[in-house]
Chains A and B, each alone.
Chain A
């Protein structure tokens, strides 16, 4: 099975700061990766799919990229509503398996 190693597991940052989160895939996933945001009330929203395509309505300060087996989510300038948990999700194994990264908790410094 494909494993997704997400880092860091937690991150403390300030408003306006630029941050990056990374997921490393244990096998080739060919860009079949999305990024999810989970708010404290449990609401889950997809931000990015196909590694770098922004979902409709998602602010442009969010971006996704790939370098080899490393996939990154970057927030260019943190706003208050961005403090949440973030998960990557690989779907290269569709329809037999989906795998989530372990999550990153983004907190206000």
Chain B
């Protein structure tokens, strides 16, 4: 069965960077684009961007193009998102979600990122 495994939580200092992971299993990793989505506490969902694991082509929401960098490691079927210059505005839960026929189908459990000194 399709699974997207994400670490539960990360604590990071303001101004630092963090690299979040999403390990895929149960399907051919390189055959489906992977998305990343942000959810701030008590708020709705925002699309950050997506990556094609077969060739690392990316598309970003313009709002996040200077904040997020998407990469993959095909050898371990893992997608990554690096967030830079973190502030309190970046404290949120970050989800990965697979794309099937243009729509997101399976979602990871999310990683909660807390930016605090």
Contacts and interface: CB of A to CB of B under 8 A. Distances in A.
B105 A44 contact: no
B44 A42 contact: no
Interface of A is mostly: loop
B44 A95 contact: no
Instruction: Please indicate which of the listed interface residues B35, B99, B107 has the most CB atoms of chain A within 10 Å of its own CB.
Output: B107
A45 interface: yes
Interface residues of B, number: 22
A46 interface: yes
B35 A42 contact: no
A22 to B, nearest CB: 16
Contacts of B95: 44
A103 B44 contact: yes
Instruction: Please indicate which of the listed interface residues A95, A98, A101 has the most CB atoms of chain B within 10 Å of its own CB.
Output: A98
A94 B107 contact: no
Contacts of B33: 95
B104 A98 contact: yes
B59 interface: yes
B117 interface: no
Contact of A91 (B93, B103, B110): B103
A87 B61 CA distance: 19
Contacts of B61: 97
A56 to B, nearest CB: 10
A52 interface: no
B93 A42 contact: yes
Interface of A: 32, 34, 36, 42-46, 49-50, 55, 87, 89, 91, 94-103
Interface of B: 33, 35, 44-47, 50, 59, 61, 93, 95, 97, 99, 101-107, 109-110
